[in-house]
Amino acid sequence: MTATPQAEARMTAQFLQALAACLPAEGLVLDEAGRRAYECDALTLFRRLPGVVAIPEEIAQVQAILRLCDDYGVPVVARGAGTGLSGGALPHAEGVLLNLSRLDATLEIDPDRRLARVGAGVRNLAISQAAAPHGLYFAPDPSSQVASTLGGNIAENAGGVHCLKYGLTVNNVVAATLITIDGERLTLGSPLGEAPGLDLLALIHGSEGLLGVVVEAWVELLPLPRDKRVLLAGFAEVTDCAEAVAAIIAAGVVPAGLELMDRAAVVAVEAMVQQGWPCDLGALLICELDGSAAEVTAQSERVTALLKTHGADHLESATDPAEQARIWSVRKAAFPAIARLAPDTLVMDGSVPRRRLAAVLTRIIALAEAYGLRVFNTFHAGDGNIHPVILFDSRLEGELERAESLGQAILRLCVEEGGSITGEHGVGAEKVDAMCDQFSAAELRQFEAIKAAFDPRGLLNPGKLIPTLNRCAELGHLHVKDGRFPHPELPRF
Amino acid sequence: MTATPQAEARMTAQFLQALAACLPAEGLVLDEAGRRAYECDALTLFRRLPGVVAIPEEIAQVQAILRLCDDYGVPVVARGAGTGLSGGALPHAEGVLLNLSRLDATLEIDPDRRLARVGAGVRNLAISQAAAPHGLYFAPDPSSQVASTLGGNIAENAGGVHCLKYGLTVNNVVAATLITIDGERLTLGSPLGEAPGLDLLALIHGSEGLLGVVVEAWVELLPLPRDKRVLLAGFAEVTDCAEAVAAIIAAGVVPAGLELMDRAAVVAVEAMVQQGWPCDLGALLICELDGSAAEVTAQSERVTALLKTHGADHLESATDPAEQARIWSVRKAAFPAIARLAPDTLVMDGSVPRRRLAAVLTRIIALAEAYGLRVFNTFHAGDGNIHPVILFDSRLEGELERAESLGQAILRLCVEEGGSITGEHGVGAEKVDAMCDQFSAAELRQFEAIKAAFDPRGLLNPGKLIPTLNRCAELGHLHVKDGRFPHPELPRF
């Protein structure tokens, strides 16, 4: 009853023949060059050649493939566009890589009910594009949205810069069709919004393909905001900027987006985009407000006053779309601007309580110094989701290992500060060990039991998300927190 | 591995002695008169005397009791204030009734983070009262909120008239402490809002005490709305009123509340409260709007225009609190006004797609005529949650049975129309058979497997929420819907 990988190889010739019979002619990839295209997702540090790649075009084919894998005891890793950042779609060497990107034929917009019925292989942005003629859009907007698919968004419970106000994928999906490892088709949730029984729809979000394969979903569409304003504020001190963030949220304003960049990130961006900011800018905050015109004006006045109170010494306010796009381009330039400063970068993802943002930043800078590496910080500040970027040069002996150690140290810091080891990138293969820091043995056992309730033999995406207790014991990280609720550090804030 | 009740009685003298040792002096109720107080919840049609009642005052006592029940194989039914309407807290004759109402000592408001840490026994309204001095409140407001407790609200995933805009309990809780049947303490979710791993927090909401016992939670608090307006509209035809509801939602307005009463309900209320409405009023709609002053004004103009377009011939708009309270009192008078018209009433709860409201109403009226019984309708129209009230006289031979049959027929009608057998009252003991209509065999098997992953011997609240497949087969209701997604009728709307 554990979620550990099955060791035995069962991909016999007979299995492969039966698999081919489940698929369209071009749907089976056996040759190494073809399989090579699937050896990693966007976490390119982790690579493994899949045993075989299957590309179904219909739901019934997915059912047949899973039933077959179940019969033969062959592991299955589902994959959308492969844009995941934690190795959730890292293949199994003795298993099937199930490419779902061709489940993209279904995209029905129901403007009256503000719902869309969407195949798992449909790209995130394509949903909003199809909804736009009706004045509607799909709110979750991960930065991968041009490429990433709804199935992957559900598996990772993707967010985006607007999730502060509009929630994660789970908050915008009302029903999903799940295929279980034995090929059964389950309807989770309901297009009505609520369904009786156990809430398996929420459970499946962020489950990283360990419980079943989502092939289709009903998603909610929102009316396009009637008005929008983007504010940009510069601060001499990052602590003041972090305080301003906390004050905005405490005032009851929920911005559509609230992004913070630290001094190092600002300098890197300024070097690239040349906005003419003062050189001594300690931090930059971008705040997007949306809603009715009256609402946006009222919120904008409120936020501007709070920014000034907290010491913003550079303020811009953009009302027209071109000007707004220019401000957002600054944030979007951050990762490329940082990346050009070193041969290699490691983008971290964690979350911390908003009140601890300034303290966490200080601790990260100290850690970076101790490890002798440079770290740049850009945060989704509104929800405390941090993305430190570690610069390193893998050609230098031991520097990759040092960067990875620093990354682990940053994640442990997040947990210590009452936060979590992932904000939005998921656990996948990358952070499965860090789950030992995050959860108690009893909690991990409960995850294992739920996994076994869907997939008793552990064939679905083995080795991801849920560490074995043995592995945690090996790491010496098993976190016993019985009797303390829920993160002992939290009541301090 | 099923969720069926354990047949054997294991409440030995030794067990009772050990149970007493887990509890404070007054915490064990053995005498029949004392146990009688717990024989039913607010669904008084279902009664059963519990084997014993345990009233813990601390979380550690809950852990000890569950561990003991697990050791002895004794069933446990958790109960808050007993205000549930579907018999979810119906006791087990050979088990422990676990009264959690004294877990009410913890009520800590954190205004900066807009969170509260709350014991399971704290009353719903007490949270908002404690938050009020900070300009905050707890959004879920079931009509039982004066009495019902947070633990019960989580177990039933309670809603209320404002859930259209502010969501159900699950949307307002960020973390919970769950005690499992083996006495382990799990932290589900995080006060930060998001936690990695499987989403057990959402899973526990609405699970009706079948997976574990929630003893404490962190809930989100919202800023009290700065402005509020209540509109009341009378329509000659209920179909026009239902169309107006659909039009308001389609226009992207999300009212804080949107309540519809049919002609029969209006007549009953008018007879009691004498508002001087025209006698030919076919339906009444109450619409509450909240937000900033500018937002409320803008929405109010929009809604008023839509109401007029759809034929509202009586319109009132209330801006001051006293006038608003008067309008809401009309809605609140509905159940008492209807109840005085017959010796007995059966309050139904179901949900249907908004677009089908008018058609459903017509079908319910036809069903009522066929059964020779009177039905009054009051709906949470915005989310399609219907509450038909069946009037009957249990002193007349066979009338209770006829009322119950009509109730079942109304629930089947909801499922046929693409809706669900419960909108907000839960499944409990009352509707466990109706789950056979709602779900496929594969879906019910998955529910059973999840239940077993928490509670392999089925000791927690046996006989509720999840029917056995044998029971469904017995009823001849087993719903096979393989290959159709998700409710075959839905694409019509």
Residues from chain A contacting residue B446 (CB–CB below 8 Å): 180, 186, 200, 453-454
Domain boundary among A99, A133, A150: A99
Mean local confidence (pLDDT), A286-309: 93
Mean local confidence (pLDDT), A476-492: 38
Chain centroid to Cα A45, Å, comes to: 17
Q: Is B45 or B82 the better-scoring residue by pLDDT? A: B82
pLDDT of B266 over the 70 cut: yes
- What SS3 state is found at B288? strand
| Spatial separation of the C-alpha atoms in residues B159 and A432, rounded to whole Å | 36
Looking only at the bridges linking them, the beta strands covering A173-179 and A96-99 are unpaired
| Spatial separation of the C-alpha atoms in residues A395 and B136, rounded to whole Å | 55
pLDDT of A162 over the 70 cut: yes
Task: Search chain A and give the residue with CA nearest B441.
Answer: A186
Q: Does any domain span residue A134?
A: yes
The Cα-based distances of A460 to A70, A181, A207, A363, B258 in angstroms read 10, 7, 11, 38, 44
Chain-chain contact of B352 with A203 (C-beta, under 8 angstroms): no
Residues from chain A contacting residue B192 (CB–CB below 8 Å): 351-353, 383-384, 418-420
Look at residue A486 in the predicted model and tell me its pLDDT: 33
| Tens-place pLDDT, residues A251-282 | 888 999 999 999 999 889 888 888 777 767 88
Is A332 at the interface with chain B, CB within 8 A? no
Residue found by looking up tokens 């936020």 in the block: A303
Evaluate whether A384 touches A353 at the Cβ level (below 8 Å).
Answer: yes
Look at residue B481 in the predicted model and tell me its pLDDT: 43
Chain-chain contact of B199 with A206 (C-beta, under 8 angstroms): yes
Q: Which residues pair with B228 in a beta bridge?
A: B290
Mean local confidence (pLDDT), A431-446: 92
Task: Search chain B and give the residue with CA nearest A414.
Answer: B192
| Tens-place pLDDT, residues B180-218 | 999 999 999 988 767 889 999 999 999 999 999 999 999
pLDDT of A187 over the 50 cut: yes
Mean local confidence (pLDDT), B314-321: 93
- What SS3 state is found at A262? strand
Q: Is residue B218 located within the same domain as residue B247?
A: no
Is A1 at the interface with chain B, CB within 8 A? no
Look at residue A448 in the predicted model and tell me its pLDDT: 97
- What's the DSSP call for residue A460? B
Most confident of A82-86, A223-227, B177-181: B177-181
Burial of B36 (0-12, 13-18, 19+ CB in 10 A): middle
| Tens-place pLDDT, residues A386-423 | 999 999 999 999 999 999 999 999 999 998 888 899 88
Looking only at the bridges linking them, the beta strands covering B107-110 and B136-137 are unpaired
pLDDT of B429 over the 80 cut: yes
Q: Is residue B239 located within the same domain as residue B302?
A: yes
Q: Does any domain span residue A390?
A: no
Q: Which of B130, B66, B127 is nearest to B95 (CA)?
A: B66
The Cα-based distances of B137 to A206, B114, B492 in angstroms read 30, 9, 39
Q: Does any domain span residue A8?
A: no
Q: How far apart are the first and last CA of chain A?
A: 39
Q: Is residue A202 located within the same domain as residue A253?
A: no
Look at residue A37 in the predicted model and tell me its pLDDT: 97
Evaluate whether B409 touches B369 at the Cβ level (below 8 Å).
Answer: no
Helix extents (H) in A140-287:
150-156, 163-166, 200-204, 238-250, 263-273
Q: What is the DSSP annotation of B389-403?
A: EEEE-TTSTTHHHHH
Chain-chain contact of B440 with A187 (C-beta, under 8 angstroms): yes
| Phi, psi at A460, each rounded to 5° | -85, 115
pLDDT band at B273 (very low <50, low <70, confident <90, very high): confident
Residue A486 to chain B, least CA–CA distance (Å): 6
Between A and B, how many residue pairs show a Cβ–Cβ distance under 8 A?
Answer: 240
| Phi, psi at A282, each rounded to 5° | -85, -25
Closest in B175, B177, B351 to A194, CB measured? B351
| Tens-place pLDDT, residues B30-75 | 999 999 999 999 988 899 999 999 999 999 999 999 999 999 999 9
Residues from chain A contacting residue B435 (CB–CB below 8 Å): 196-197
Look at residue B126 in the predicted model and tell me its pLDDT: 98
Here the CATH number for the domain that contains residue B75 is 3.30.43.10
Evaluate whether A218 touches A175 at the Cβ level (below 8 Å).
Answer: yes
| Phi, psi at B323, each rounded to 5° | -65, -40
Q: Is residue B76 located within the same domain as residue B137?
A: no
Domain boundary among A99, A117, A148: A99
Closest in A418, A450, A466 to B453, CB measured? A450
Q: Is residue A261 located within the same domain as residue A297?
A: yes
pLDDT of A83 over the 80 cut: yes
Is B246 at the interface with chain A, CB within 8 A? yes
Look at residue A484 in the predicted model and tell me its pLDDT: 30
Give the side-chain half-sphere CA count within 13 A for A398.
3
Q: B227: part of which helix (H) or strand (E)?
A: strand B227-235
Chain-chain contact of B294 with A294 (C-beta, under 8 angstroms): yes
Q: Is residue B146 located within the same domain as residue B86?
A: no
Report the predicted TM-score, pTM, of the whole model to 2 decimal places. Answer: 0.90
Look at residue A477 in the predicted model and tell me its pLDDT: 57
Handedness of CA B387, B390, B394, B398 (dihedral sign): negative
| Spatial separation of the C-alpha atoms in residues A233 and A241, rounded to whole Å | 9
**How many domains does the structure of chain A reveal?**
3
For chain B, give the mean pLDDT. Answer: 90
Chain-chain contact of A453 with B446 (C-beta, under 8 angstroms): yes
| Tens-place pLDDT, residues B214-262 | 999 999 999 999 899 999 999 999 889 989 998 998 888 899 999 999 9
| Spatial separation of the C-alpha atoms in residues B36 and B310, rounded to whole Å | 52
Q: Is residue B130 located within the same domain as residue B213?
A: yes
Look at residue A90 in the predicted model and tell me its pLDDT: 97
Look at residue B98 in the predicted model and tell me its pLDDT: 98
Q: Is residue A237 located within the same domain as residue A328?
A: yes
Domain boundary among B165, B199, B223: B223
Residue B174 to chain A, least CA–CA distance (Å): 11
Q: Which residues pair with B317 in a beta bridge?
A: B231
Q: Is residue A72 located within the same domain as residue A36?
A: yes
Look at residue A49 in the predicted model and tell me its pLDDT: 97
Mean local confidence (pLDDT), A43-63: 96
Residues from chain A contacting residue B300 (CB–CB below 8 Å): none
Which segment of B208-212, B330-334, B417-421 scores lowest on mean pLDDT?
B330-334
Which segment of A186-200, A273-287, B341-355, B371-385 scores lowest on mean pLDDT?
A273-287
Chain-chain contact of A206 with B196 (C-beta, under 8 angstroms): yes
Q: B76: part of which helix (H) or strand (E)?
A: strand B76-79
Q: Does any domain span residue A355?
A: no
Q: Is B263 or B100 the better-scoring residue by pLDDT? A: B100
Task: Search chain A and give the residue with CA nearest B190.
Answer: A486
Helix, strand, coil tally for chain B in percent (to 5): 40, 20, 40
Mean local confidence (pLDDT), A338-365: 90
Closest in A193, A222, A443 to B186, CB measured? A443
Q: Which two tokens stand for residue A370?
A: 């101790």
Q: Does any domain span residue B116?
A: yes
Mean local confidence (pLDDT), B413-418: 89
Chain-chain contact of B298 with A291 (C-beta, under 8 angstroms): no
pLDDT of A91 over the 60 cut: yes
Chain-chain contact of A450 with B486 (C-beta, under 8 angstroms): no
How many helices (H) and strands (E) in chain A? Answer: 16, 19
Mean local confidence (pLDDT), A6-16: 76
pLDDT band at B9 (very low <50, low <70, confident <90, very high): low
Mean local confidence (pLDDT), A60-75: 97
Residue B396 to chain A, least CA–CA distance (Å): 33
Please give the share of chain A, as a percent, with pLDDT higher than 90: 70
pLDDT of A453 over the 70 cut: yes
Mutate which: B171, B192, B355, vs A, most A CBs within 10 A: B192
Is B177 at the interface with chain A, CB within 8 A? yes
| Spatial separation of the C-alpha atoms in residues B87 and B76, rounded to whole Å | 14
Residues 108-147 of B with CB under 8 A from A: 110-114
Q: Is B383 or B78 the better-scoring residue by pLDDT? A: B78
Is B418 at the interface with chain A, CB within 8 A? yes
Look at residue A418 in the predicted model and tell me its pLDDT: 86
For chain A, give the mean pLDDT. Answer: 90
pLDDT of A441 over the 80 cut: yes
Look at residue B7 in the predicted model and tell me its pLDDT: 39
- Domain holding A279, by residue range, is 225-341
Q: A187: part of which helix (H) or strand (E)?
A: strand A185-189
| Spatial separation of the C-alpha atoms in residues A203 and A170, rounded to whole Å | 9
Residue found by looking up tokens 């289709």 in the block: A216
pLDDT of A493 over the 80 cut: no
Q: Does any domain span residue B190?
A: yes
Q: Is residue B268 located within the same domain as residue B306?
A: yes
Q: Which of A98, A99, A95, A89 is nearest to A10 (CA)?
A: A95
Evaluate whether B245 touches B253 at the Cβ level (below 8 Å).
Answer: no
Evaluate whether A415 touches A398 at the Cβ level (below 8 Å).
Answer: no
Is B490 at the interface with chain A, CB within 8 A? yes
pLDDT of A249 over the 80 cut: yes
Q: Does any domain span residue A445?
A: no
Q: Is residue B119 located within the same domain as residue B214?
A: yes
Residues from chain B contacting residue A353 (CB–CB below 8 Å): 113, 191-192
Looking only at the bridges linking them, the beta strands covering B52-54 and B96-99 are parallel
Here the CATH number for the domain that contains residue A279 is 3.30.70.2190
Here the CATH number for the domain that contains residue B116 is 3.30.465.10
- What's the DSSP call for residue B408? H
- What's the DSSP call for residue A396? S
Q: Which of B236, B205, B263, B241 is nearest to B382 (CA)?
A: B241
Residue B274 to chain A, least CA–CA distance (Å): 36
Q: Which two tokens stand for residue A167?
A: 């929630």
Is B239 at the interface with chain A, CB within 8 A? no
Is B476 at the interface with chain A, CB within 8 A? no
| Tens-place pLDDT, residues A375-394 | 999 889 888 899 999 999 99
Q: Is residue B112 located within the same domain as residue B89?
A: no
Q: Does any domain span residue A323?
A: yes
Closest in B187, B439, B452 to A486, CB measured? B187
Query: Cα–Cα–Cα angle for A424, A190, B242, nearest 5°?
Result: 120
Task: Search chain B and give the residue with CA nearest A212.
Answer: B446
